[in-house]
Amino acid sequence: MTSNAFRIGGDLEVRRLGFGAMHLPTESGPARETSLAVARRAVELGVTLIDTAYLYGGGANEELLAEALHPYPDGLLITTKVGVARSGPSGEWKLDGRPAVLRDQVEQALGRLRVERIELLQLHRIDPETPLADQLGTLRNLRDEGKIGRIGLSEVTVDELHQARQIVDVASVQNRYSVLDREHEPVLAACEAAGTAFLPWRPVAWGESGARAEIAAVATELGATPTQVALAWLLGHSPVILPIPGTARVNHLEENLAAERLHLTSAHRDRLDGLPDLA
């Protein structure tokens, strides 16, 4: 029986099927009101893991979640990411893991999210121009100061994960991954071996039509949607996978969360396991 819960870092329990807030519009007006409603509905439906990042609107997404959900109910984890900034020559976004930048982004996130501690803080990308020890050392210091609870990484290789573990305890990894995109299967295997949470982003991405047809066929047989099949496959593929599908519509949110109740037979799983990696 697949467990619907996972303890991040061994102690922070969340429902495995979470919500990615990236797609929520933050501009004022009706779209923002819908975004607030979607976030609130996610929590009403039992979501306890919500993913955001400074990159999503330069902090606007974090502010939106705070407006929608603060004061936060017990057990709700909002995880955010730092390490991308408007540091380019013309103010464009670029990877920036300099200690002063990371520290400032964490301090700003604390204010926007209206919390004293971010229970899970992820490095959005490793900045190749800044020593890894400086990047993770800064986050470790912030953890020691009580401003971060646990540290995660995003878009890393197995080797980068190994290097990072020499510096800090890694509680989570957020890489692109889906039934049709398994480039990071080795990273998932490394996470599973260590009991590290693996948060696949773009968890229901579609590839070529032939593969989509196979997923659609399974969905038809089960009276489900292809999205639900893709999410159910992830939940059953590894116990450390915590999918964070995103949407800006309440009906899609409800559809996604219903995937938790979808039972894929071993025959269905065999068919889906055999799909080509179309990344």
Catalytic site positions = 56
Structure tokens at 6: 């996972």
Place of tokens 């510096």: 167
Residue 95 φ then ψ, to 5°: -65, 135
Distance CA 195, CA 6 (A): 10
- Angle at which helix 250-258 crosses helix 30-44, to 10 degrees, equals 20
**Measuring CA to CA, which residue among 61, 102, 106 is closest to residue 83?**
102
C-alpha angle 233-238-241 in degrees, rounded to nearest 5: 85
| Residue 80: closest CA among 251, 199, 190 | 199
CB 196 within 8 A of CB 227: no
* End-to-end C-alpha distance for the chain, whole angstroms: 30
Comparing CA positions, the residue from 153, 204, 195 lying closest to residue 174 is: 153
